[in-house]
Structure 1
Amino acid sequence: MKRKIAIAGTAVLALIASIMVFVKPADAAVGLRVNSGRIVEANGSNFVMRGVSHPHVWYTSQTSSFANIKSLGANTVRVVLGSGQRWGPSNDLGTIVNLCRTNRLICVLEAHDTTGYGEEGAAATLDQAASYWIGQRTALAGTENFIIINIGNEPFGNNASVSATWPTATSNAIGRLRSAGFEHMIMVDAPMWGQDWQFIMRDNAQSVFNSDPQRNTVFSIHMYGVFDTAAEIQDYLGRFRTAGLPIVVGEFGHNHSDGNPDEDTIMSYTQANGIGYIGWSWSGNGGGVEYLDMVTNFNPAQLTSWGQRIFNGTNGIRATSREATWFGGVNPTTPTTTAPTTRPPTTPPTTPPTSNPPTGRACTATYAITGQWQGGFQAEVRVTAGSSAISGWTVNWTYANGQSVTQSWNTTLTSSGSSVSARNVSYNGSLGAGASTTFGFLGSWNGTNSAPTPTCTAT
């Protein structure tokens, strides 16, 4: 018997006349949604999670972790919260929502108090977790494009009779959120400390999915010692893919006290099959599993061996992550030069200079301020290839008013005085003729924050 050791771990409405029930069709769903077993954005672009968990409820002062996680290439962060039974309650969701939006991260918000219910005496029920989310409804209103609600972490332990209630308890919790008006994508964790070693989630996933009137539920499997062979990983995930049901690896590590998970297969199989993964965890682990820290003392410049593996290794986050198009990222399957029509509610962007794509092996760059506050700002640079494909690019600009860059993502950026140079990273240098990509950054300013005119050099 294996287990994970818990740690302080619309436009259209269809009226069905015969039963007089309003049902929202799948194509009318708002924000992130399930389509044919995959996660898609409101514009239909596929979204594959590449992220890590951040233990916010135990380290509420570590708000810089959102930008730091983004800077290492992640497109998703799973935020550990407390519903009040064991930790928290986390009543700072307004702050968290702003951090997610500002740092252009899809955020999976999870209530951790349910961990190991039936085996951990203090654990909360899924019904209590649902009550917590309903109490946070106002803070989450209008965030369906970038917030996913993970009802409860690892909601049952290894008590077989209690874990057998997972299908009913999960369906009831989903129903309560929908009745309360939530239109968010919902994520549900497996029982048995998240590892589902008796296949309770696997064998009941279809009925639970069907219980969601919006058909917008994603299943999350946690892979530790139970998943120590390639065959186990491929079989479990493959059954969801064959059934057309949405699955993500909501937690996994490179090692664990209950066995050695096969992280290489987890990462290669998910990449080959368009399945999301979220590693555990950014920093701050205790209870004997400190080796699961990805960085030391929340410092992004001090990657551990696990951090190096998940961020920089084969099939790692830097190589495979794509920013959500809602934030301005480019859909790799459908390159576009048009920004999404729906944007985060920020200060209106500075109008970028207009120009036609250049001819030949060349590129252009446009600079836009997408958000600004006293002393700080967020900006985006869009790089567009000319009439021929390019394999790399470098963008340069000079600030006129003493601005400086403090954090960046989707680029390797260096500064020398007022001069800034940004070049592509491994996954966004190759652009087809006329195709675009974006990178972003946070900066500081004082007095004036005029937008510079960047130049772009292609290779």
Structure 2
Amino acid sequence: MRVVLSNGYRWTKIPASEVANIISLSRSLGFKAIILEVHDTTGYGEDGAACSLVQAVEYWKEIKSVLDGNEDFVIINIGNEPYGNNNYQNWVNDTKNAIKALRDAGFKHTIMVDAPNWGQDWSNTMRDNAQSIMEADPLRNLVFSIHMYGVYNTASKVEEYIKSFVDKGLPLVIGEFGHQHTDGDPDEEAIVRYAKQYKIGLFSWSWCGNSSYVGYLDMVNNWDPNNPTPWGQWYKTNAIGTK
């Protein structure tokens, strides 16, 4: 499960006490691991309301006390889609610096890194620099996350991107994907098929609460698990299985 947090830059800050409750509840419900992410970084450089990875790191430091001791359970997704399409080349050094800052602060958790270009890495900036980013982590405890929407509208594009990481022995997850989007029509069938074939993680976006213009990405209606949307039903049947 991937959980949206806010550092208070764009939305209401999620305090450490609430994060502790999220971790405790998730453990009690039987989850094997959860991913926590700062959402305020979304589209940095293009969206003027977004914060930087530096500011995201400060939030992680602020709530470190409730993350310590949960290294076996919590994956730290430094920032969601931390660059848009402007100045995205800066993503490489900013990501390396964020990883170093977290390790210097004593975090030993697995760190998840989102791609630039609103998470879709159409420029292949993450793909082409993934090895050097891994080497920038003294613990070598990273996982790379690609978000697949309109850029990944054919099976060949999906497989080529996944295979580029698999062939290098670098860990990749599909940290978000949908069945349609404002920027095009993703090939959701190929995304699920190749994730299974190459045995990589797969996270659909998202449970509920999307803004109206992307409301079709809600998987259930009104937060009700017994009332799936067409997208939710498709995912349940095709990605998970009817169980």
Category of TM-score, reference length = shorter chain: over 0.9
Aligned to 1:250: 175
Which residue in 1 is equivalent to 2:207? Answer: 282
| Alpha-carbon distance between aligned partners in 2 of 1:191 and 1:235, rounded to the nearest angstrom | 18
SS for the counterpart of 1:296 is coil
8 Å contact 1:126–1:155 — kept in the other structure?
A: yes
Matched, 1:317 2:240: yes
Indicate the structure (1 or 2) with the bigger Cα radius of gyration. Answer: 1
In the other structure, the counterpart of 1:217 is: 142
More helix as a share of residues: 2
2:231 counterpart (295, 306, 309): 306
Which residue of structure 1 aligns with residue 155 of structure 2? 230
Letter in 2 for 1:187: M
In structure 2, give the amino acid aligned to 1:164.
Answer: Q
Q: Distance in 2 between matches of 1:184 and 1:146?
A: 9
Name the counterpart of 1:429.
Answer: none
Q: Residue 101 of structure 1 aligns with which residue?
A: 27
Contact 1:114 1:152 in 2 (8 A): yes
CA contact (8 A) 1:230 1:265 kept: yes
Output one character per residue of 1:79-114: Cα deviation in whole Å (capped at 9) or x when no partner: 001011101211111111111111122210000000
Contact map agreement 1:253 1:279 (CA 8 A) in 2:
yes
Matches of 2:11 and 2:109, distance apart in 1: 24
Structure 1 residue 318: Cα displacement: 3.7
Separation of aligned partners in 2, 1:194 and 1:129: 16
Q: What is residue 396 of structure 1 aligned with on the other side?
A: none
How many pairs were matched up?
Answer: 240
Corresponding residue number in structure 2 for 1:79: 3
Q: Distance in 1 between matches of 2:76 and 2:124?
A: 23
State the partner residue of 1:28: none
Alignment of 1:330-345 (within 5 A): none
Contact 1:118-1:157 within 8 A present in 2 as well: yes
User: Matched residue of 2:37: which SS?
Assistant: strand
Q: Name the structure 1 match of 2:166.
A: 241
Distance apart, 1:116 and its partner CA:
0.4
- 1:204 offset after TM fit, Å? 0.5
For the residues of structure 1 that align with 2:222 and 2:12, how far apart are their CA atoms? Answer: 22
For 2:128 and 2:180, the matched residues in 1 are separated by 27
Name the amino acid aligned to 1:100. Answer: S
| Corresponding letter in the other structure for 2:101 | R
Q: Which amino acid aligns with 2:127?
A: R
Structure 2 distance, partners of 1:218, 1:299, is: 31
Q: Which runs of 5+ in 2 are unaligned?
A: none
- Structure 2: which amino acid aligns with 1:122? A
User: Structure 1, residues 240-283: CA drift from partner, whole Å, max 9, x if none?
Assistant: 00111010000000111110100101001011111001000001
After the TM superposition, which residues 141-290 of structure 1 pair with which residues of structure 2 at under 5 Å, given as runs? 141-159=68-86, 162-290=87-215
Residue 53 of structure 2: which of 86, 103, 126 is its match?
Answer: 126
Q: State the alpha-carbon separation in 2 of the partners of residues 230 and 312 from structure 1.
A: 20
Shift of 1:144: 1.2
Residue 203 of structure 2 aligns to a residue in which SS? Answer: strand
Kindly provide the amino acid, as one letter, of the partner of residue 87 in structure 1: W
After the TM superposition, which parts of structure 1 deviate over 4 Å for at least 4 consecutive aligned residues?
none
The residue type equivalent to 2:46 in the other structure is E
| 1:114 aligned onto 2:33 | no
- Aligned counterparts of 1:310 and 1:187: Cα–Cα separation in 2: 23
- Offset, 1:145: 1.3
Q: Match of 1:249, SS? A: strand
SS in 2 for 1:221: strand
- Whole-angstrom CA distance in 2 between matches of 1:318 and 1:169: 39
Q: Quick one: which amino acid aligns to residue 195 of structure 1?
A: Q
- The sequence identity of aligned pairs, in percent, is 52
Give a deviation string over 1:415-450, Cα, whole Å, max 9, x none.
xxxxxxxxxx5xxxxxxxxxxxxxxxxxxxxxxxxx
TM-score, structure 2 as length reference: 0.97
Structure 1 unmatched runs, 5+:
1-76, 320-424, 426-459
TM-score (norm 1): 0.52
